[in-house]
């Protein structure tokens, strides 16, 4: 449990690394942020389809895995819609200045939920290398996420310290949910295939609904395509190197 929590905590802290470009520049390049998000998207798609779903199909029947994937996608869609309906604001900021930052922070927070579940479920398979593979994919994905969180905050003169902690906050569900997910599936092994499918479906929906549109808004279609392809191939390389 301690190892699962520590690894999930490190993936959370990785989000804070996204503020590093702002140490040197007032604004990070939108184009660079778009390309790195594309790479992270490819890694997460690869982890979802070729690791989570594939592992699930080897441990259970296709109906349970498919149901889990649909359930994961529906859960993320419902959570994102719930957050978008709220009217929160940052203390001392106007509603206009707060809106973009709040939407980004809330959206990132919600889509960290399936990532935390994925880490816990990955380790619950009993294969440390498989859990580490998912954690690596999520940690790499978290870095450009942190940059995305910091962009509107820095535009309104938020401090680097504040940007760092807001970025870390958005990935807080990862260490919080990884251990309960690990414990639940470790106790109830029959739930493992559907749970792997749930995590994979939620991550695929997240990539398609949130990350890819964000990527295409910041860089060209060609750059986005190469970024996703590069990330997917890199994750397949990790999978092969770990013998999964």
DSSP per residue over the chain, as a string? Answer: -HHHHHHHHHHHHHHHGGGTHHHH-SS--HHHHHHHHHHHHHHHHHIIIIIIIHHHHHHS-HHHHHHHHHHHHHHHHHHHHHHHT-----TTS-HHHHHHHHHHHHHHHHHHHHHHHHHHHHHHTT-HHHHHHHHHHHHHHHHHHHHHHHHHHHHTT--HHHHHHHHHHHTTHHHHHHHHHHHHHHH-GGGHHHHHHHHHHHHHHHIIIIIHHHHHHHS-HHHHHHHHHHHHHHHHHHHHHTT-
Strands in the chain per DSSP E: none
Question: Residue 94 has what pLDDT?
Answer: 58
- Say yes or no to pLDDT of 163 above 80: yes
Round the average pLDDT of the chain to a whole number and report it.
79
The number of distinct structural domains making up the chain is: 1
Question: Residue 176 has what pLDDT?
Answer: 93
- Say yes or no to pLDDT of 17 above 80: yes
The boundaries of the domain holding residue 110 are 2-15+30-241
pLDDT in tens, 115-150: 788 888 888 877 788 788 878 878 877 887 787 777
User: 113 in a domain, yes or no?
Assistant: yes
pLDDT in tens, 72-93: 888 878 877 776 666 666 665 6
User: 20 in a domain, yes or no?
Assistant: no
Q: Which two tokens stand for residue 134?
A: 């998912």
pTM for the model stands at 0.62
Question: Residue 88 has what pLDDT?
Answer: 63
Question: Residue 76 has what pLDDT?
Answer: 77
User: 146 in a domain, yes or no?
Assistant: yes
Question: Residue 103 has what pLDDT?
Answer: 64
Q: Which of the four pLDDT bands, split at 50, 70 and 90, describes residue 214?
A: confident
User: 140 in a domain, yes or no?
Assistant: yes
Task: Name the least confident of 19-33, 66-80, 89-103, 133-147.
Answer: 89-103
Q: Which of the four pLDDT bands, split at 50, 70 and 90, describes residue 19?
A: confident
Q: What is the C-alpha to C-alpha distance for residues 146 and 149, in angstroms, rounded to an integer?
A: 5
Question: Residue 98 has what pLDDT?
Answer: 62
DSSP reduced 3-state for 17: helix
CA 59 to chain centre: 24
DSSP reduced 3-state for 204: helix
């Amino acid at each position: 449990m301690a190892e699962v929590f520590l690894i999930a905590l490190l993936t959370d802290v990785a989000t804070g690394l996204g503020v590093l470009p702002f140490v040197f520049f007032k604004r990070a390049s939108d184009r660079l942020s778009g390309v790195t998000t594309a790479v992270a998207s490819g890694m997460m798609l690869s982890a979802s389809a070729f690791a989570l779903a594939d592992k699930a199909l080897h441990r259970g029947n296709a109906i349970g895995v498919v149901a889990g994937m649909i359930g994961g996608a529906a859960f993320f869609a419902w959570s994102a819609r719930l957050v978008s309906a709220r009217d929160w604001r940052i203390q001392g900021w106007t509603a206009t200045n707060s809106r973009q930052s709040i939407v980004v922070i809330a959206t990132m927070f919600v889509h960290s939920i399936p990532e935390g579940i994925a880490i816990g479920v990955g380790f619950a398979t009993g294969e440390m290398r498989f859990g580490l593979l998912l954690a690596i994919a999520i940690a790499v994905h978290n870095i450009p996420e942190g940059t995305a969180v910091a962009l509107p905050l820095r535009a309104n003169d938020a401090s680097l310290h504040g940007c760092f902690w807001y970025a870390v906050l958005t990935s807080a569900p990862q260490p919080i949910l990884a251990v309960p997910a690990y414990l639940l599936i470790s106790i109830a092994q029959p739930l493992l295939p559907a749970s792997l499918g749930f995590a994979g479906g939620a991550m695929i929906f997240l990539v398609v609904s949130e990350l890819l549109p964000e990527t295409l808004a910041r860089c060209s279609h060609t750059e986005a395509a190469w970024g996703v392809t590069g990330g997917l191939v890199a994750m397949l390389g990790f999978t092969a190197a770990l013998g999964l």
